[in-house]
Structure 1
């Protein structure tokens, strides 16, 4: 009877990290697509937070600046919401990001047929193979999402300064921006994990003999 091996979580994390180091440039390309998507999402969220903070002041001059910047503000409005155009653009950018992650992970599975086959011949459980891919995706997702979040906040702040002047720093909504940043990181990490599920299951279901027989 074939002996099944279940490695501890610490060893799994170490192997996932080493796999990312070995395939650094491919991992970097995958992560950059996530960085751009999260940066755009955070840019929209933080931009709306800044606009909301300006609107909450009740200053008619700032209200006019909001209108000039393209925000749909009517007299008496006390809140702003993302426009349908913004929501669709964000949705499409995140969708493209997920498709890119799935494609990159599928290519990663193809490149690692022999590695996966060797692990399974040594007795690795299917769930261990899935765990490796999920851990790699989680590391890439957290790193890319954090970088994208920072880029989005900086870009939104810079854009807000150009459109509204230095007034935004007097009412800078730190708490709301931190909430938006947390949402952006959670969304990016979730997308990374979502994009790896199918490739991970495909790798886990691979038969050891078939994986070892593939020419590379």
Structure 2
């Protein structure tokens, strides 16, 4: 469970990947500690609070710089990413300012710190989710390339065309295997991870079967069983 600052619950965001969760948790912990220490017995010295505020803002600045680079490269998430980065930067600056104002006698309103922290975590979560959309789009693009290559392989009529098409298909399968492997490892849901693993296994096993059955079909175009075997492999790969 991901509990946020001031009992803000982040479960409603349906964070499905380990990478997003692992990025958020340290920040949530750091800010939660800052809020809990703020004005409590045995709290941090004002100079220490100011340093924590500066560290949070510096980390946010590095983070949003990466987010803005993603926005520059991917128009489909650009506007949302820029807006989320802007909000995160403003909230990080607000937290640093609040922490700098802390002194031995006058403590800023704890509610103001909580509000800024919630804004920061919400904005950073949106940046991460938008970055995740980019990853998913890359995976879907790789899947579409493999699908197109399968269509091309299915339509070839001679060995020269087949070798060329299969070479391209192989390179695209390597890319798809890399992306789906990373995604499988990143998914939190065990059922989805198992589904991804099963599909990857079918594709890997079927690739060699596709090579063998296609060669046989090209050598014996008159043989209906050879064509049926090849068509079965194509069907399995498309389902996967």
TM-score relative to the length of structure 2? 0.26
Larger Rg: 2
